[in-house]
Structure 1
């Protein structure tokens, strides 16, 4: 805006961002003219509440006089391991365009000052295709996979389409003619890749603006593909309440709290727009402290940390705030035309027709075997190496030696509880005859047994005694040894392990037990480091 100096414009552009790459470059441009920025979104799953974060920043960019292009990246949606089938991409692009306009309008942002572009309008041209071939010729598989690690869906055998994704996002900066690209901090590796690769093609390096990510209701990131972690922008009021009622919100816990994070990253910034004084109200009976109005987030966070605000009161206030926020967006889509578009973009799944099973008098294999510890292959194993899962910081991916050359990959949700250094080169107890399956995008072939306190505040790996080797057996008195030369692979549908593990527990002496039987090895019993009661899973 004409009334702002270049320095003031930069402050508006950069406020509430997590990181800026190219600050000097932006300031140099602002000294001469207004900034050209693009923000892109791939029309995959339905947009969620996290979209309010980039919407508030778009409002800031407009206040600073920037020219904004909104890229509806339809080709990218298909390339990202086909999250959006090609036959649905066009309708989803229309759906996203309407929903983004509705969301911006609901918070008072004038959409007529924005330029909406679909990626397919230029990404299918001969000029773009040639540039894409050039960037492919200068990009290694390793660099492409690394750049897209936090954005492109990761699979064990990545498709070439996913590897093309980062290069095309970098080229978009050149073909849209912008000075900077704006996105979430999860895009950082792609942004760094773009800064490295564009000059190699003779194009100028752009600046990059990154906003913080909104944590999910049940995970580290609100995701369009995980219905349990997010609230859609068209979610019904009763569904908003149901999801927030179920969301993790431990009393006094401010570090793993998606609800508090939403208040911080969305509600307070929205209520601060256009110079307004923000406020957030907690309404409650006098006997529980009475109503309180917060004019800054820090006071709310401190009161929650000190347990002056109860989780149920916070959830109630946020539920009301979200439903008020979503009401105008729901109204925008309450037309026959947009209801039809929604169904075309996200058609209601048809029930699968399955053939009726042929009845047989022959009993199923293992149907008459007892459901007890004799069915479970538990061995001493050694973690050779462990690393944090790239897509989920709460999980580890471990290489585990189960003995006699049997080395497996294991995914475990232990990163929240056990430091990485404690996972390296240590003995553990591993369940080795569960049917392998995909877990968080990685094939996992065993389970590491851990004990936990009743409230899950303490989690520890089971601890075999010293002097054992990977592959040593764990026995239970009175039960015969499992034939490990040809062990039964337990079908997860039959819930054998789940039923048996109901009888796992920790003794007051810190011993691992099945019913009242010790987990025994030739060197002594399996123990827990500090837990004296709790469960094993």
Structure 2
């Protein structure tokens, strides 16, 4: 129904309670839902901000002769630049905040690409928003929590001896506590997370080195503002 479709509309920053609803707003959730059926997906993977559209797809599937897709939703990785998208996206305040600050490919320096070179990764982290002693809303720390520690049992940070020398953190909680107290400088945190993320992307770099034609295809998809 139209009302059910409108319930999925906040995905694009519009509220279903808006008095003046444009036709294109209502078409957007339907177009996203049709993507799943057009690609014949058994499993739809996306961020938490897509879950309402995915539920719309699951409800509509049997009526359209399709099997309801399995839906997997991952946390939203925040962008490295201090940007906030205007609008209301979710009834849950925490999820709404995550959506407003999520990484977007349209903000070039705030987004990481899997085909970024080590130099590009390092440059993006060096320019990242990373206020000293601030843990909440710090994208570099969020990347350590969401990317580094789930894949590594430690975060090694190299720094000159005059600034305390190399240090290793074995949990995100330990890292966050040290950063909040000012025991770790923002630049040292950036360098450590950058090195760890570069290591995570190494298998991707090796793949594209063997498949340069796929790397070129990937670059053609990279559209920014």
Q: Please, what TM-score do these two structures have when normalized by structure 2? A: 0.71
Q: Does 1:230 align with 2:111?
A: yes
After superposition, residues 397-436 of structure 1 pair within 5 angstroms as none
Q: Could you say what secondary structure the match of 2:189 adopts?
A: helix
After superposition, residues 460-479 of structure 1 pair within 5 angstroms as none
> 1:30 aligns to what?
none
Answer with 230-239 or 249-258: which moved more: 230-239
Cα shift at 1:279: 1.0
Cα shift at 1:233: 1.5
> 1:527 aligns to what?
none
> 2:182 aligns to what?
307
Number of equivalenced pairs: 200
Q: Indicate if the aligned counterparts of 2:9 and 2:26 stay in contact, CA closer than 8 A.
A: no
Cα shift at 1:212: 0.8
Higher RCO by CA contacts (8 Å cutoff, separation 6 or greater):
2
Aligned pair partner of 2:56 in 193, 212, 221: 193
> Where is the helix percentage greater, Structure 1 or Structure 2?
2
> 2:86 aligns to what?
none
> 1:341 aligns to what?
217
CA distance, structure 1, for counterparts of residue 213 and residue 11 of structure 2: 35
* Unaligned residue ranges in structure 2 (runs of 5+): 16-21, 84-100
After superposition, residues 77-88 of structure 1 pair within 5 angstroms as none
Q: Does 1:144 align with 2:31?
A: no
| RMSD between superposed Cα atoms in Å | 3.5
Cα shift at 1:250: 0.4
Cα shift at 1:158: 2.5
After superposition, residues 103-502 of structure 1 pair within 5 angstroms as 139-140=1-2, 143-150=4-11, 158=24, 162-169=28-35, 171=37, 175-177=40-42, 181-200=44-63, 208-218=71-81, 219=83, 220-271=101-152, 278-334=153-209, 336-338=212-214, 340-342=216-218, 345-346=220-221
CA distance, structure 1, for counterparts of residue 170 and residue 187 of structure 2: 20
Cα shift at 1:239: 2.4
CA distance, structure 2, for counterparts of residue 303 and residue 336 of structure 1: 42
> Where is the strand percentage greater, Structure 1 or Structure 2?
1
Q: Please, what TM-score do these two structures have when normalized by structure 1? A: 0.33
Q: Indicate if the aligned counterparts of 1:152 and 1:165 stay in contact, CA closer than 8 A.
A: no
> 1:400 aligns to what?
none
Cα shift at 1:168: 1.5
> 1:463 aligns to what?
none
Q: Indicate if the aligned counterparts of 1:191 and 1:208 stay in contact, CA closer than 8 A.
A: yes
Q: Indicate if the aligned counterparts of 2:105 and 2:222 stay in contact, CA closer than 8 A.
A: no
Q: Indicate if the aligned counterparts of 1:263 and 1:318 stay in contact, CA closer than 8 A.
A: yes
CA distance, structure 2, for counterparts of residue 176 and residue 267 of structure 1: 30
Larger radius of gyration: 1
Cα shift at 1:348: 10
CA distance, structure 1, for counterparts of residue 159 and residue 212 of structure 2: 40
CA distance, structure 1, for counterparts of residue 222 and residue 66 of structure 2: 41
Cα shift at 1:151: 5.9
Cα shift at 1:296: 1.3
CA distance, structure 2, for counterparts of residue 158 and residue 184 of structure 1: 23
Cα shift at 1:340: 4.6
